[in-house]
Amino acid sequence: MTDNDDSRLGSLWLIFKPLLDATFYWLIFGVLLGLDRGMDNFVAFIIIGVFMYQYTSTALSTGTKTISSSKAMIRAFQFPRMALPLADLVYDFLQRIPALLVMFVIIMGMPPHELPELAWLLFPVLLLLQTLLDFGLTLIFARLGTVLPDVSRTMPFLTRLLMYGSGVIFPIGNLAEKVPALLTVIELNPVYVLLESYRGILIDGTFPDPQQWITLSAWAVGLLIVGFFVFWQGEESYSRDQYK
């Protein structure tokens, strides 16, 4: 379940929220601050960043509340608790499909009209890697949410920090070139690499380089394995007795 389920527009907010966010960031960083200088398609840059980042930020925020929000089910049934974060991720992914379609319509419909190229066929591959990455993070934060319930209160700050550190709304790589050490750290950030790869295939029609594939694959598989063991080790703490 997501926070949008309690609103009148429901899942439509998965489309409206990133659209509103993207419009706001375009006005601030593109129009007022002029960070779009030298970029051929800053609108597509913003749209791709906001829409694709929301998938990961939602996984992080939902993960911290996965166990606590399923108290009734935990009390009533005995089942592998890992099914809870998995169900949340699948549910969010299915609801997000219309938003992804809207993203494609926007980047193709607004000047300079990005049209499908061969590189676009790699979009599902990148989306799969992002989903694996998100599931690993969800498992880790689901465990953290039971050990430190207050961690959910810090998620708005953490997701905002990750947003700025991943170049979601402005070309952070250009700014970090003045500090080589910072650029190295940023290039190891899987969310930054994901967004750069998405933009490369959808805007420039270029294929991610081998280093990007290695970085993304290592993070996706690594976080999935770590997340599995972290969540599994706390399996007994998610017992029905905890919520009686």
**Res 244: pLDDT:** 46
Q: Provide the angle, in degrees to the nearest 10, between the axes of the packed helices 13-25 and 42-63.
A: 130
The DSSP H or E segment spanning 10 is none
Q: Note whether 30 and 176 are within 8 A (CB).
A: no
**Res 176: pLDDT:** 66
**Res 5: pLDDT:** 54
Confidence of residue 200 (pLDDT cuts 50, 70, 90): very high
Interval 204-233: pLDDT, tens: 999 999 999 999 999 999 999 999 999 998
CA distance 100 to 95: 10
Confidence of residue 78 (pLDDT cuts 50, 70, 90): confident
**Res 130: pLDDT:** 98
**Region 21-42 average pLDDT:** 81
Confidence of residue 102 (pLDDT cuts 50, 70, 90): very high
The count of domains in the chain is 1
Rg (the chain; Cα; Å):
19
Residue 29 has pLDDT above 60, yes or no: yes
Tell me the residue range of the domain where 135 lies.
3-243
Tell which phi-psi region holds residue 113, choosing left (phi > 0), alpha (psi between -120 and 50) or beta: left
Place of tokens 């379609």: 101
